[in-house]
Every structure is written in C-alpha cells, then in structure tokens.
Amino acid sequence: MQFLTTRETQREELGLLKIFDLFCRRQGLKYSLAGGTLLGAVRHGGFIPWDDDIDVCMPRPDYERFLDTFTPPQSNIILDDGRGKHAEYPFAKLMNASVVATGGGLAGERKLWIDIFPVDGYPEDDAEAGKLFAEAEKYRVILMYSHFGSYEEYPWKHGRLGYILRKAYAALFTPRRAIARLNALAAKYPYSPSPSVGNIVWGLHGAGERMKKEEFESLDEVTFEDGAFFAMSCRDSYLKGCYGDYMTLPPEDKRQTHGIKTYRV
C-alpha cells in the first residue's frame, strides 16, 4: 500500500466537507466550522498546514435534522450518526469508505472522517459551567481510553501505570454507558431556551467554548481552501476561549499532526 501525504489526506477530507456543506445548504441547516478547522480558516485561509482533521458543529435541532435526513450522494460516503448500541462516540462522523485511516494512537483501522458535533445549551453561571465540563470530561476520558491502542502508540501524560489503570476502567464502564451519560449531560440545558450554548459532548476547552446563542447562530462565510463555508460570527471570542492568542503560531516543535496515516482502497 502507498500512504497518502498530509496534503492528500486534507484534500480527501475537504471533499467530505463539501458534501456536508452542499447538503446543509440545500436543506437550510445551520452549521459552523469549529475548533482547529475554524482556526485554520481564520489564520491560514484553509487547513492549518500540520493539521489532518476537520471539525464542524451544528445547533442541536439542526444536528438532529441532519442525522434524520442525510442521504449519501455516492456509495462510498457513510454517515456514522453516533446513535444506537454500537455507537463509539456521542457525535456524528461523515466518512469516506474509499480511504482508510490508521495510527495516531487509534486501535485498528477506520474510514477517513470529518467530525460533526452537536451544540447544546450551556449554563451561564461560571461555577455551574465548570461543574458541567468536569463531569463531561470524566466520560470523554473513558471513551478516549477505550478507543486508543497501546501506550507506545499514544504516550499518555499520566504515564504507563496511569494508562493501564484508565484503560481498565474504560473497559469496565463501557463506551455505551459513557455516551449515555454524555448525552444526558448535553440534554440538561435544552438548546432552544438557552441564551448560551456550547459543545458539551466533546468540548475540550470547557467554558472557553461557551457562546451567546444569537452570535453562534449569526453565520457568515469564510474562505477555507478553495471554497466558502459557514462560520459563527463570534469566532474571535470563540477562538480566544479555545486557544488564547490564536493568531500567533505555536513553536515549531508543537506543529504536529494527529499522527494518522491514510491510504486508498
């Protein structure tokens, strides 16, 4: 097999993003670029050069409509909706079955994907927001340890013993239970009546990702590679909450991909 370059992998992911964007436009569904993808659009006009994934997010009502109505435009495009007893994550993945991804600490092989996150209601009180994030983080850690492979493939910050203990705990708790708890936490503050919103099920930056709903839903287009895609109007405050001084490049030793390798089948 011949592995794709990082740039070739990015182009395959971009193809998935275009399929997602076209469907959302036709159905009138709101979405925004998110995380490092939004940072790449703002700072680089496309992918962060060393990044190798794509993240988007949707208001929970639009997210549920997307899961209920999406029809793959071709046979190699698959939607993993994150539902059901065999779900691995509490969010959706749009995948290209013609490209296989491996490495990056993941156990086994996966179809190349982009991540689609639901955005839910978020408490406005800082203390309550902190408690919600801490509770959700416990279950995200369980899922991370249940999916990743050996310690050597992914050198965990807690050390080898910490890795073994957490891996054992993840095996006992099961991904299904962790996903159920994350979904329950996401439902604690319903989207529609909440003035503040954020990514509860997989928000990695805590209350820094919290947004005013009216600003999140106010969308405009940004350039990402050779296309125009939707982005939240509060992207400056969102990116500062996630990354701090986000326009300053990280040191060269921090400019690393997630370590996945891809090839076509």
**Higher pLDDT among residues 179 and 160, named by residue:** 179
Q: In Å, how far are 11, 20, 36, 166 from 14, measured between CA atoms?
A: 5, 10, 14, 34
DSSP-assigned letters across all residues of 118-166: EEEE--SSHHHHHHHHHHHHHHHHHHHHHHB--TTTS--TTHHHHHHHH
Residue 164 pLDDT greater than 80, yes or no: no
Is residue 76 within 8 A of residue 264, CB to CB? The reply is no
In this model, does residue 147 exceed pLDDT 70?
no
Closest by alpha carbon to 126, among 208, 243, 245? 208
pLDDT value for 5: 95
DSSP letter string, 71-122: --SSTTEEEE-S-STT-SSSSEEEEEEEEEEEETTBSS-EEEEEEEEEEEE-
- The pTM (predicted TM-score) of the whole model is 0.92
For residue 41, give the amino acid letter. A
Q: State the maximum Cα–Cα separation within the chain, in Å, rounded to a whole number.
A: 52
Query: What was the pLDDT predicted at 84?
Result: 87
pLDDT at 151: 46
Q: Are 185 and 200 in contact (CB under 8 A)?
A: yes
Instruction: Check residue 163 and give its pLDDT.
Output: 62
Can you name the residues that pair with 263 across neighbouring β-strands? 100
Q: Mean pLDDT across the chain, nearest whole number?
A: 90
Predicted local distance difference test score (pLDDT) of residue 70: 98
CA distances from 234 to 25, 28, 116, 197 (A): 21, 21, 19, 12
Residue 33: its pLDDT value, please? 98
For 57-71, 94-108, 110-124, 166-180, which range has the lowest pLDDT when averaged over its residues? Answer: 166-180
Contact 141, 135 (CB under 8 A): no
Instruction: Flag whether pLDDT at 234 surpasses 70.
Output: yes
Does the pLDDT at position 27 exceed 60? yes
Cβ atoms within 10 A of the Cβ of 188, count? Answer: 15
pLDDT digits (tens, 9 = 90+) for 173-201: 778 889 999 999 999 999 999 999 999 99
